[in-house]
Amino acid sequence: MLQTLDRRSLLTGSMSLGALASTVALGGCEDFFNRIRHRPVRRNVATLDPNGSVIATFKNAVAAMKALPSSDNRNWTKQAQIHNNHCPHGNWFFVSWHRAYLFAFEQICRKLTGDASFALPYWHWQAQPSIPAPFWGTSTNPLFDSNRVATQSSVADSNFIGADALQGVLDNTNFELFASGSATQLRPPTKVYGALEGTPHNYIHGTFVQGDMGAFMSPLDAVFWSHHCMIDCMWVAWNIRCGNANTSDTTWTGFSFTDFFDENGAATTISTLACVLMPLLSYRYDDPLIGHGTCPSGASPISTTPPPPARGPWTMKKAEEIDRDTLRKFLEKGRPSKLDIVSRLPIGRGLTLTPGRPEASRAPLQPGQLAPVLAGRQRLLLNIAEVKQPPEKDAFLRAFVNLPEASAATPTTDPHYAGSFAFFGADHGDMPGMAAGAGGGVSFLVDVSETVRRLKAANQLGDDAAVAVTLVPVASPTAKGPPGAFSVGELSLAFNNVAQAQ
Ligand code: C2O
């Protein structure tokens, strides 16, 4: 089965998968497949001995990078500048660019420490909702960052990283709803956050950890790397475990990243093809079934659910028994991700949301307009567009459907609750490499079909004559004052035909 990873695809990704590919080129197939079989394992940091070898190597690597002169591209600050100057956010390059970034960084860690089996540990926020112990201490710990707002005892909000929240992220079968909106360049003027980025990712950065993590120099805080391994692990779970396809759009599949440096500090190019195969070739996560999430939408909590059958085109067995040929083709090919929007329903414009005064907007429905959504033939997508957050950036938004009186006091266990959305970095999209003021703002695209179906089943949907959306600004627990005003340029619902199993 392993022989089916053909030479072409390996060589296409050879710049980044250098060591493996050159082994093939030299004809060392047995050795090559052994390296794949025994590729380094990224482990849950909570399961590692804080005084053990993985954490020690991580610390040594970071210390070594901090000690390198700034002329060396592997220097710690230089590495963070790569992120500051190039990281894509609010679009579909988010997942692939950050995977490539972790890959290049991990190679540098291995080289600088001489530990070829090193793999970055991941921070499983759902299982451990506080910043893990190895990242604390004093300035003598290279993994510590004194600029954080979160303390060692701060606990992350389960509405963003709890079992239900992560299940909600994994339930998005469409690539753009999962991994953020389409784009043709890394930093286009408009950001459209999907579920993975808009909920756990942004929250951990901008609302929970804060400090360096709240802005684009965030990799200065070493917890960035373990946070992003968890994001990457979620993508592996979604894509490889659950068999949800990445987009087949050639703008995405044909993209190459030129922003990274290899283990010697030389510029390197990493293709998207290499990125999608990395979890099969260069590293894996400790639990091949990942341990978070049931694949189809299920009622059971993430952490206690036994692995269900995958719905991918292969038979899921133990990780090393997967039909790799089928899996590789599936990963390389993807599936169309463009959302087929059949109609749009504007529900509000130019909204200002001030604390204590949530904004409820209501739009009339045609008779029977919700029927295809209730029957599962359409999705109902809530588009919260052109959002500007208050300058303090220590607040987030919650959305409720058909509960006009919802407020910050409404529990998120209420069946009308549809989701929580957080911010990261500049909300106008102004970033290096983009003309100042060119930003078209930030949007969140959220599937509220499940909420509507749940309300219907509980007889709480109302008369079907209108749908109401209430956006509630909420101050984060670490906020110094009540949240300032949010503005939302446009609030609308879109009816999306569910086709091609997206
Ligand atoms: Cu580009 Cu979580 O950051």
Instruction: Please provide the DSSP assignment of 223-290 as one string.
Output: HHHHHHHHHHHHHHIIIIIS-PPPB--HHHHT-EEEEEE-TTS-EEEEEHHHHHHHHHHT-EESSTT-
- Residue 148 CB less than 6 A away from ligand 1: no
Beta carbons of 308 and 296 less than 8 angstroms apart: yes
Would you state the pLDDT for residue 305?
35
> 31 pLDDT band (50/70/90 cuts)?
confident
Kindly report the average pLDDT of the chain as a whole number.
Answer: 84
Beta carbons of 491 and 471 less than 8 angstroms apart: yes
Q: Distance, CA 124 to ligand 1 centroid (Å)?
A: 16
- Residue 86 CB less than 6 A away from ligand 1: no
What is the C-alpha separation between 234 and 178, in angstroms, rounded?
Answer: 10
What DSSP letter does each residue of 137-148 carry, written as one string?
A: S-TTSTT--TT-
Q: Distance, CA 349 to ligand 1 centroid (Å)?
A: 30
Name the amino acid, one letter, at 222: A
What are the structure tokens assigned to 172, written together? 């998005």
Beta carbons of 219 and 228 less than 8 angstroms apart: no
- Residue 89 CB less than 6 A away from ligand 1: yes
Q: Distance, CA 227 to ligand 1 centroid (Å)?
A: 9
User: How many angstroms separate the Cα of 458 from the Cα of each of 65, 454, 491?
Assistant: 56, 6, 26
Would you state the pLDDT for residue 280?
84
Top-confidence residue, 426 or 195: 195
**What is the position in ligand 1's atom list of the atom closest to the CA of 97?**
1
Percentage, residues of the chain above pLDDT 90: 64
Would you state the pLDDT for residue 293?
44
What is the C-alpha separation between 16 and 155, in angstroms, rounded?
Answer: 37
Mean pLDDT across the stretch 64-72? Answer: 98
Q: Distance, CA 375 to ligand 1 centroid (Å)?
A: 37
Q: Distance, CA 351 to ligand 1 centroid (Å)?
A: 28
Q: How is the chain split into domains, by residue range?
A: 4-333, 341-501
**What is the position in ligand 1's atom list of the atom closest to the CA of 231?**
2
- Residue 187 CB less than 6 A away from ligand 1: no
Would you state the pLDDT for residue 296?
46
pLDDT at 349 over 70: yes
pTM: 0.89
pLDDT at 16 over 70: no
Mean pLDDT across the stretch 393-418? Answer: 92
pLDDT at 27 over 80: no
Beta carbons of 286 and 47 less than 8 angstroms apart: yes
| DSSP assignment letter at 122 | B
What are the structure tokens assigned to 98, written together? 């950050």
Q: Distance, CA 140 to ligand 1 centroid (Å)?
A: 25
Bridge partners, residue 359, by sequence: 471
Beta carbons of 197 and 323 less than 8 angstroms apart: no
> 440 pLDDT band (50/70/90 cuts)?
low
Q: Which residues contact 457 (CB under 8 A, 6 or more apart)?
A: none
- Residue 213 CB less than 6 A away from ligand 1: no
What is the C-alpha separation between 80 and 84, in angstroms, rounded?
Answer: 6
What's the Rg (C-alpha) of the chain? Answer: 22
Q: Distance, CA 183 to ligand 1 centroid (Å)?
A: 17
- Residue 42 CB less than 6 A away from ligand 1: no
Mean pLDDT across the stretch 67-83? Answer: 98
Mean pLDDT across the stretch 303-328? Answer: 49
Would you state the pLDDT for residue 485?
87
pLDDT at 427 over 70: no
Q: Distance, CA 425 to ligand 1 centroid (Å)?
A: 9
Q: Distance, CA 95 to ligand 1 centroid (Å)?
A: 9
Top-confidence residue, 181 or 292: 181
Beta carbons of 72 and 263 less than 8 angstroms apart: no
Identify the CATH homologous superfamily for domain 4-333.
Di-copper center containing domain from catechol oxidase (1.10.1280.10)
- Residue 119 CB less than 6 A away from ligand 1: no
pLDDT at 432 over 90: no
What is the C-alpha separation between 491 and 7, in angstroms, rounded?
Answer: 49
**What is the position in ligand 1's atom list of the atom closest to the CA of 98?**
1
Beta carbons of 103 and 282 less than 8 angstroms apart: yes
**What is the position in ligand 1's atom list of the atom closest to the CA of 83?**
1
Mean pLDDT across the stretch 5-28? Answer: 41
- Residue 99 CB less than 6 A away from ligand 1: no
Would you state the pLDDT for residue 147?
97
- Residue 416 CB less than 6 A away from ligand 1: no
pLDDT at 361 over 90: no
Range with lowest mean pLDDT among 44-48, 185-189, 314-318: 314-318
Top-confidence residue, 403 or 478: 403
Which helix (DSSP H) or strand (DSSP E) does residue 452 occupy?
helix 449-457
Largest CA distance in the chain: 70
Torsion of CA 498, 310, 166, 419, to 10 degrees: 20
| DSSP assignment letter at 193 | E
Q: Distance, CA 443 to ligand 1 centroid (Å)?
A: 17
- Residue 398 CB less than 6 A away from ligand 1: no
Q: How many CB atoms lie within 10 A of CB 166?
A: 27
Q: Distance, CA 8 to ligand 1 centroid (Å)?
A: 31
pLDDT digits (tens, 9 = 90+) for 243-267: 889 999 999 999 999 999 999 999 9
Q: Distance, CA 153 to ligand 1 centroid (Å)?
A: 23
Would you state the pLDDT for residue 500?
54
What is the C-alpha separation between 346 and 177, in angstroms, rounded?
Answer: 20
What is the C-alpha separation between 487 and 385, in angstroms, rounded?
Answer: 10
> 357 pLDDT band (50/70/90 cuts)?
confident
Mean pLDDT across the stretch 87-105? Answer: 97
Would you state the pLDDT for residue 310?
45
pLDDT digits (tens, 9 = 90+) for 121-163: 999 999 899 999 999 999 999 999 999 999 999 999 999 999 8
- Residue 80 CB less than 6 A away from ligand 1: no
> 461 pLDDT band (50/70/90 cuts)?
confident
Burial class (CB in 10 A: 0-12, 13-18, 19+), 217: middle
Beta carbons of 15 and 100 less than 8 angstroms apart: no
pLDDT at 18 over 90: no
Q: Does domain 341-501 have CATH number 2.60.120?
A: yes
Phi, psi dihedral angles at 445 (to 5 degrees): -115, 115
**What is the position in ligand 1's atom list of the atom closest to the CA of 204?**
2
Cα dihedral sign for 169, 175, 176, 180? positive
Beta carbons of 22 and 14 less than 8 angstroms apart: yes
- Residue 205 CB less than 6 A away from ligand 1: yes
What is the C-alpha separation between 13 and 270, in angstroms, rounded?
Answer: 7
Torsion of CA 132, 135, 137, 140, to 10 degrees: 160
CA-closest residue to ligand 1 atom 1: 87
> 323 pLDDT band (50/70/90 cuts)?
low
> 23 pLDDT band (50/70/90 cuts)?
very low
Say how many Å lie between the first and final Cα of the chain, rounded: 28
Phi, psi dihedral angles at 119 (to 5 degrees): -135, 145
pLDDT at 203 over 70: yes
Would you state the pLDDT for residue 502?
56
